[in-house]
Amino acid sequence: MPHQKKQEGIPMLTIRPAAKTDYAAILNWNADQDEAYLFQWAGFTAYQHPLTEEQIAKQAKKEKVQSQFKSYIYENARSK
């Protein structure tokens, strides 16, 4: 993980590749959303509406990043 400077009073975010443990959160973000919402962040080629864990896992395997999904998770560094 890259070195991060801590600054008082400024919320810091960590950006990291999503892992298999993040799939449920990704699905939750897409729950009750339409195709346009999915396209907004994923495009038309990799996924179909409704998004499933199987689609995410298949794409991760296809991209040969089995432990990482090609998206990024924003974490509030202060919550660690």
pLDDT: is 31 or 76 the higher one? 31
Other Cβ atoms within 10 Å of 11 Cβ, number: 8
Q: Is the peptide bond before 11 cis (omega within 30 degrees of 0)?
A: no
- Per the CB < 8 A criterion, the answer to whether 69 and 59 are in contact is yes
Per residue in 5-56, pLDDT tens?
566 777 777 777 678 898 999 999 999 999 999 999 888 888 999 999 999 8
pLDDT of residue 69: 45
pLDDT band at 80 (very low <50, low <70, confident <90, very high): very low
Q: How confident is the model at residue 68 (pLDDT cuts 50, 70, 90)?
A: very low
AA identity, residue 55: Q
3-class DSSP state for residue 59?
A: helix
